Amino acid sequence: MKFFNFHTHKFTNHVDVLELVNQYPQEFDATIPFYSIGIHPWYIVEDRVETDLAIIESKLQEKNCLAVGECGLDKRIEIPLELQQLVFEKQLLLAQKYNKAVVIHCVAAFQEVIDTKKRLNISVPMIIHGYSKNTQLAKQLLDNGFYISFGKYLLRNPELESVFTSIPNNRFFLETDTVEENIDAVYNLAAKYKGVNLEEIQKQISSNFQAVFKTDLI
């Protein structure tokens, strides 16, 4: 594999790309080779939470399930934050139990996510996906043990260049999420911003992948 796409909602089955495809408990596609599975805060259905968690737990025991998520907290939706917090915590505890990384969705709730990690003493890797905020917040996240993944906003917002270049090489991932561009476009821009060639970015992501997912698939 030449590329690792940390977070995507569409499986392209490209020979050069290992894709961590986002899956939901009620819409699971067993043909996807590698995936994360979780309850996104947007799609919490209160009377279905335990059923969804049971499905997630069963999938976490499969080798090709690489992570829990995306899951997290979002203050800009109608679903009560208290319910979001409960569902988030239960998923983090499952990730800890099965030693899986976590793909984090966070909107306007970064302090709450940091506090939750500390309070529950979560030691598995937690990766903030689709980062779009400033260098100061990025440093706070890094200082608290998080990894940060860049994609859509890196492609769309030139002001993120300085944020991205401030991230230590061993603490970032790259993704496409829902954009039309392929992952190589994100890699090429990342290489440009870091002032290295594409191969160096590929090597770095491969190293980061091995550190977080404890395997050498790429």
Domain boundaries, the chain: 3-213
Binding residues are 70, 105, 129, 177
Q: What are the angstrom distances between the C-alpha of 65 and each of 3, 46, 112, 113, 199?
A: 18, 24, 26, 23, 27
Q: Whole-prediction pTM value?
A: 0.96
CATH, domain 3-213, list 3.30.930.10, 3.20.20.140, 3.90.550.10, 3.40.50.720: 3.20.20.140
For 109-137, the pLDDT digits (tens) are 999 999 999 999 999 999 999 999 999 99
- CB of 189 closer than 8 Å to CB of 155: yes
Query: pLDDT grade, residue 217 (50/70/90)?
Result: confident
Calpha distance 43→31 (Å, rounded): 23
Point out the annotated binding site for a divalent metal cation: 70, 105, 129, 177
H helix or E strand, kind and range, residue 23: strand 17-23
Task: Convert the pLDDT of each residue in 176-202 to its tens digit.
Answer: 999 999 999 999 999 999 999 999 999
